[in-house]
Amino acid sequence: MSSEDNTNEAVGLRSNESATTMDQAIPKKSNESTLTRLINAANEQEILTALIADAEEQLKQRKEDLRKIVENTIPTLLSESGLQGLTLRSGKTISIKKSYFASIPKKDPVKATAAFKWLFDNGYKDTVKRIIKAPIESSREKTFSELEDYMAENNIQFDLTRDINAQTLKKIVKETMEQGKDIPMDVFGIFVKEESVIN
């Protein structure tokens, strides 16, 4: 092979090496496109996250505005006007719905005892559940009073609790208050919520 051929071959090798180095240094067009789309998607994520946070905050405020109108403004205005309800131009009527809330204050033994006493004294004894937990065989079961006496006489440790279904208690409170009868508000932690309703 002549010296000229050797020179041309060497130049060709160097050219190929340079091309390979440049290909490695410069990202391909397809890679550039993917990177650009990734950055755009990340930016869009940040924008949407901010928009959603803002929308949720606005929704929270709107709900609070609605709660004030439903629970305070309209009930107060109807009460001041002496009206039970009102028919709107749309033909729909607005009225007040009362919701009653009450519970047995289990963390306050004094109030809990007073609450159950009121239920017993006012004819609601059958609504109260009496629960006994004790390590005793089922073959030795007794009626409630007999079992309580038996365990007391034999120094058997037991846990005696009373309870009433939440919905049952709410119904009792509602009936009692709507009949105008007395009921210890503080003992039962009674709360009456008035809300305007449009139908």
| Host domain of residue 37 | 1-83
- Mark which of 17, 49, 83 sits at the end of a domain: 83
- Mark which of 36, 54, 83 sits at the end of a domain: 83
- pLDDT tens digit at each of 199 positions of the chain: 555 554 444 445 444 554 444 455 445 555 668 888 889 999 999 999 999 999 999 999 999 999 999 999 999 999 999 988 999 999 999 999 999 999 998 888 899 889 999 999 999 988 988 776 666 565 655 566 677 777 778 887 766 677 888 999 999 999 999 999 999 999 999 999 988 888 8
Give the containing element (helix H, strand E) for 162.
strand 159-164
Residue 99 CB contacts under 8 Å (≥ 6 apart), including other chains: 192, 193, 194, 195
Is 192 found in the same domain as 102? yes
At residue 130, the pLDDT reads 76
Is 103 found in the same domain as 75? no
What are the φ and ψ backbone dihedral angles of 130, each rounded to 5 degrees?
Answer: -110, 125
Rounded CA separation 87/93 (Å)? 4
Q: Indicate yes or no: pTM above 0.75.
A: no
Cβ pair 111, 190 in contact under 8 A:
no
At residue 22, the pLDDT reads 46
Rounded CA separation 53/112 (Å)? 44
Domain count, the chain: 2
What are the φ and ψ backbone dihedral angles of 106, each rounded to 5 degrees?
Answer: -60, -25
Is 186 found in the same domain as 118? yes
Is 63 found in the same domain as 116? no
Rounded CA separation 128/118 (Å)? 11
Cβ pair 78, 84 in contact under 8 A:
yes
- Is residue 89 included in any domain, yes or no? no
Is 141 found in the same domain as 117? yes
By C-alpha distance, which of 117, 121, 132, 115 is closest to 169?
115
